[in-house]
Amino acid sequence: MAQDLTPHSNRLIEEGRALARDNREGGRHRRTPSIGKGSAALKRRNLIRKARNLGIVTLVVIVGAMIAGLAINGLGFVGIAATALVLLAAWIVVGMMSGTKQPRRACLLYTSPSPRD
């Protein structure tokens, strides 16, 4: 006699409903490790570049605030609050601009000589 597949069907239908419900709520984002040394190196370079750019922007805004404070004989609370807002805006702009670039096909090709060649 054939085995009754109803329990398996019910389980699959319930898993499908749970998946649809999960996707409607925004899905799940699982961080995955890099797929190779080149990918890991690219992520590391991009992270270092982003940190460098954020450091440069921070330095520029703070030095600008210092110069403005010296020019007008002190910033005061409003000047410090304005500097904080400018710094936050600069961080957002730099953070959005320096994303990971999409690799081109030529960058992904393995170019090292093969021992079989």
Residue pair 98/50 in contact by the 8 Å Cβ criterion: yes
Q: What is the pLDDT of residue 107?
A: 65
Both structure tokens of 108: 């992904």
**27-84 per-position pLDDT tens digit:** 776 666 777 787 788 888 888 988 999 999 999 999 999 999 999 988 899 999 999 9
Task: State CA 59 to chain mean position distance.
Answer: 22
**86-115 per-position pLDDT tens digit:** 999 999 998 888 666 666 666 666 555 555
Both structure tokens of 17: 């409903």
Task: State CA 21 to chain mean position distance.
Answer: 26
Residue 117 has pLDDT above 50, yes or no: no
Q: What is the pLDDT of residue 45?
A: 86
Domain ranges of the chain: 42-100
Query: What global pTM score does this model have?
Result: 0.57
Q: What are phi and psi of 50, to 5 degrees?
A: -65, -45
